[in-house]
Chain A
Amino acid sequence: MKYIDEFRDGATARRVAGAIAAEAEPDHHYHLMEFCGGHTHAIYRYGVQDLLPPQVRMIHGPGCPVCVLPVGRLDMALSLASRPEVILCSYGDMLRVPGSGGRSLLKARGEGADVRMVYSAADALELARRHPERQVVFFAIGFETTTPPTAVAIRQAHSEDLENFSVLCNHVLTPAAVANILDSPAAREIGSVPIDGFLGPAHVSIVIGTHAYERFAEGYRKPVVISGFEPLDVMQSILMLIRQLNEGRAEVENQYTRAVTRLGNVKAQDLCAEIFEPRSEFEWRGLGVVPDSALQIRKEFGRFDAERRFDLTYAPVGDNRACECGSILRGVLEPTDCKLFGTACTPETPMGSCMVSSEGACAAYYQYGRFRQPVKSATA
């Protein structure tokens, strides 16, 4: 496909790998966090880590929307799904994540709940139009990429006066999570993850623009390179980060210039600001409660807010103790550090959210990386 295949060329990848090996100082460490689950997926799928010298290490970040949703929020959806008048719909992966007691929305469906998979927020709206006698709730998750489509759906419902449509809003904000990783004392204590630089997300940055990261470069002196999704994009971005670190620079650079601008998609941003406002706090799996890190529906559109309509309150629920998703999302552990990985927990029978989504580190590792591990430890 045009503008995709060119960015997957193996010979060029090896040449860029050569440049990385030549420029990375042997006695430095380069711990680079790829924030976004799409990058995690690409890194495993194309074996990017294997093309890097040992002092360059990729740390997987929390940018997988399905992964970071805490059990308590999923339980809210499960409780809605058990109401006879409700049709609960969400993106496919979300239906497979185990909630309290290992119960997923798919399991609830098996027990008789009306749970449906949708491809977009517009599909959920269409369900509401087709079933005026039912309450259709869209279980909305995701970062700045899925938020604008949810905003479009709410505005549309508002203009159509669609009384039986509402949204259980779980949209979260990328910059807040990056800031949390950089300055949460908890992460520092447990983590000892020294992050030297960030690979910034591709699609999210199309929406929010590169300027959203400038405070990390300025305030925290961490270089950020916004990177495209293809393996060559990732390789080039890693090289750009290494050059910044070698030269003592901490800037926001944009490798994905073919799609990302400094200001981003202002139309989408304005629409989101019209429909949503910041939540004072939101719990993330792995990161805990993060202030101003999520969005809620504004009062003016409150009738489309499932939390108001059904009078829901959030109660935090502990994760499955054996599942290490939380530490993996903080970049502290690798999937293979989890005892359940590949045994009790596989993509067919996921025990935690990181094994469900293809953007989750456990799923990506299971699919592409697990055969590599013995080789790696043998040479380590």
Chain B
Amino acid sequence: MLDDQQALIDLDGVQKEISLELLDDVAVGDYVVVHVGYALGRLDPEEAERTLALLGEAGLEAAR
């Protein structure tokens, strides 16, 4: 976290400064979706896992 609603994010080891002005209550360690230098939304790791699980199931159904 930097001053003035700015934050440093890690993009696969590359650090980049972005603005948090469009998002409230972001904490260190959160995943955010960034567009033209602004965090637009949060990324929910639990939902990501759920989607991956569904993708796995779609594959299984096809294999049946």
Contacts from A to B (Cβ < 8 Å):
1-3, 6-7, 12, 15-16, 18-19, 21-22, 91, 119-123, 142, 145-146, 148-149, 152, 203, 206-207, 228, 232-233, 236, 239, 255, 257-260, 265, 267-268, 271
Contact = CB atoms under 8 A, between A and B. Distances in A.
Contacts of A255: 51
B37 A19 contact: no
B37 to A, nearest CB: 3
Interface string B15-48: 0000101111000000101011110111111011
A90 to B, nearest CB: 11
A259 B19 contact: no
A258 B44 contact: yes
Contact of B41 (A3, A21, A119, A259): A259
Given A18-B62, A258-B47, A259-B47, 13 more contacts: A3-B48, A6-B48, A15-B62, A15-B63, A149-B22, A152-B38, A236-B55, A255-B51, A257-B44, A258-B45, A258-B48, A259-B43, A265-B23
Nearest to B31: A3
B43 A258 contact: yes
Interface residues of B, number: 33
Contact of A120 (B12, B38, B41, B54): B38
25 contacts: A1-B11, A1-B12, A3-B43, A3-B48, A12-B59, A15-B60, A18-B62, A19-B58, A19-B62, A91-B36, A119-B37, A121-B36, A122-B19, A148-B22, A203-B33, A206-B41, A207-B40, A232-B55, A257-B51, A258-B48, A258-B51, A259-B33, A259-B44, A267-B22, A267-B23
A145 B41 contact: no
Contact of A15 (B19, B31, B50, B58): B58
A236 B40 contact: no
A16 B62 contact: yes
Contacts of A267: 22-24
A7 B43 CA distance: 14
B63 to A, nearest CB: 7
Nearest to A268: B22
B58 A236 contact: yes
B19 A152 contact: yes
Contacts of A236: 51, 54-55, 58
Contacts of A152: 19, 21-22, 38
A260 B51 CA distance: 13
A107 B58 CA distance: 51
A24 to B, nearest CB: 12
Nearest to A21: B62
A94 to B, nearest CB: 12
Given A15-B63, A19-B58, A91-B36, A257 B50 contact: yes
B8 interface: no
B55 A3 contact: no
B56 A12 contact: yes
Given A6-B52, A15-B62, A19-B58, A119 B38 contact: no
A232 B54 CA distance: 11
A149 B37 contact: yes
Contacts of B38: 120, 148-149, 152
A19 B36 contact: no
B61 interface: yes
Question: What are the 7 A-B residue pairs with the smallest beta carbon separation, nearest first?
Answer: A15-B59, A120-B37, A18-B62, A19-B62, A206-B41, A258-B47, A258-B48
Contacts of B21: 152
